[in-house]
Structure 1
């Protein structure tokens, strides 16, 4: 029987097929394919996606600066030989980036048609200034930023394709955040965590569906958000701050100023999560007057199915609000209430709530 020459079918696959295979490997394993043959030496450097996580770095390496140096070795090889687009970059390895190196890498990515730019938790002494080139990415659909200073350049006209935005431990002023949200017409998901210097939040985006906000701020204002179906807000009051400006239009959920009516966008909500930080005595009366006012009798949350309320202390205001939700949410399927402090809620009150739910 004649010896048949073995055919290297994998190496001869089209690059788009090889790219799909390699991006499903941890980056460290993809880089190891360089030893297979001379054909494979630089294949991994041409990937369309780069995910730098703890799998890229040996587990024994704990020094954060050294971990960044390991990442830079990979980045330098990619920059020197990469051809074609880079659609996704994710930094999720706990390290301490050099700001100059980081800026150069981000600038490189923005020239490669980046679609997903994800920068997660890392160690920093001071926040890095987000390079203005990030705002020149017309294909960007997912943006997650951590530990940066966020300022919009004068030339910024918007992210037309951005669907998901997450900012964590970012320095951004209220006006800038409002402008950013308004200029992302395709935005569906918005997450804001531990934002610095945020006096108020104004949410106005006709395509927004999911909102999560966990930060220090004084006021939140909902403008026109007809598709909003899920809201998760944890508000930490900023005592001693003076709010310099409040939008004239929109509906606020506030510490002091209570609106005359609830925002109509709440009719679209299917899930609601509320986490209370603390309750102030001076807030009780205006909120109480609002909750039991005549204007709420004809207000219904017709799409609301799931409610989670955490951190209540058992005030009358809180219980009246819970009663309101039960009585005015005809599609409600479940409500979870977690009480952190104070005396237990009286059984008679719980029975009253149960009767409202069964109505």
Structure 2
């Protein structure tokens, strides 16, 4: 009996789902062996250059970091169609500041979910380009190890419903005195972030808020960026773990403590214009509890004004959950 490739006879949308679930090495191998699979490979709606991709070529990355960029750029030059979800993880070995053009291509392909994770041993945080902030199709965005500062867009995350920030640094920006409305945001999480008060937003539909192990910069000097207008409206270029109350000599960062008046920033712990009245599920860690309570106290608001149905309080020594 003649052997037949019955999988290749499946509808294109089924092939897309199969290829999207394969490890990137397996998907690339299938694309090389079969022309039908090759077409599916270059029209995937879910693309992931994730940890498995890094593991496969780890040694090559160290010897030649450009190889990573060449592979990714070559793929997107040949890709046709829309991309619904894009995951990209990279570390210090492949870090370079030329990803803006890549993300511009992704945002033009109708991306709805974006997972960007950067792992670096130094302070070279990647600054989010304007094309991501302004992407009108983006609905879910997970960012790890990036920097958000000098933001002055008229429109930011216009259709995003879920934002998750991990190890993100929010630098001083013009948003300190001008809040940006995120009309569709329903869920917002901060984990191990710095200066979340600089992320000055309003979110009338926000229902879930989580703040865990976030900190305030102790340095009053704001580092000036090389390009002050990096996030201007006209920019369309293509291109440690737990809270500790003392004994730490690291003055750059500290857990929030409302009794530390001399170090308390003017903007407080939370974004100044973020109204928690719509939040029904609230998760706070130890230092976030201090920050939120103190912010409400300074604004003259009473905590019972919150309409929280589920409250989760966590600390190194205790974890409480309340359900009303």
Offset at residue 165 of structure 1 (A): 0.9
Matched, 1:254 2:294: yes
Q: CA RMSD in A?
A: 3.8
What CA distance in whole angstroms lies between the structure 2 residues aligned with 1:216 and 1:236? 9
Offset at residue 18 of structure 1 (A): 0.9
CA distances 1:216-239 after superposition (whole Å, capped 9, x unpaired): 14433662432421322342799x
Partner of 2:37: 40
Partner of 1:248: none
Task: Give me the TM-score of the superposition, normalised by structure 1.
Answer: 0.62
What CA distance in whole angstroms lies between the structure 2 residues aligned with 1:24 and 1:127? 30
Matched, 1:78 2:85: no
For structure 1, which runs of at least 5 residues remain unmatched after alignment? 239-250, 278-306, 310-324, 333-359
Choose from 29, 38, 52 the match for 2:49.
52
Q: Aligned in 2, Cα 1:198/1:146: closer, same or farther, shift over 3 Å?
A: same
Partner of 2:284: 232
SS of aligned partner of 1:11: helix
Moved more, 82-91 or 38-47: 38-47
Matched, 1:115 2:165: no
For structure 2, which runs of at least 5 residues remain unmatched after alignment? 217-267
Partner of 1:164: 162
SS of aligned partner of 1:167: strand
CA distances 1:318-349 after superposition (whole Å, capped 9, x unpaired): xxxxxxx9xxx7x67xxxxxxxxxxxxxxxxx
CA distances 1:149-204 after superposition (whole Å, capped 9, x unpaired): 31465443232321211223333247667799852222222122333345577774
Larger RCO, structures 1/2 (Cα 8 Å, 6+ apart): 2
Query: Aligned residues, how many?
Result: 269
Offset at residue 99 of structure 1 (A): 2.8
Partner of 2:135: 137
Q: Aligned in 2, Cα 1:140/1:201: closer, same or farther, shift over 3 Å?
A: closer
Check whether the contact 2:155–2:180 (CA below 8 A) recurs between aligned residues.
no
Check whether the contact 1:45–1:77 (CA below 8 A) recurs between aligned residues.
no
Matched, 1:269 2:269: no
Offset at residue 100 of structure 1 (A): 3.8
User: Larger Rg: 1 or 2?
Assistant: 1
Task: Give me the TM-score of the superposition, normalised by structure 2.
Answer: 0.67
Check whether the contact 1:54–1:94 (CA below 8 A) recurs between aligned residues.
no
Offset at residue 25 of structure 1 (A): 0.9
What CA distance in whole angstroms lies between the structure 2 residues aligned with 1:270 and 1:29? 43
Offset at residue 112 of structure 1 (A): 1.0
What CA distance in whole angstroms lies between the structure 2 residues aligned with 1:180 and 1:120? 28
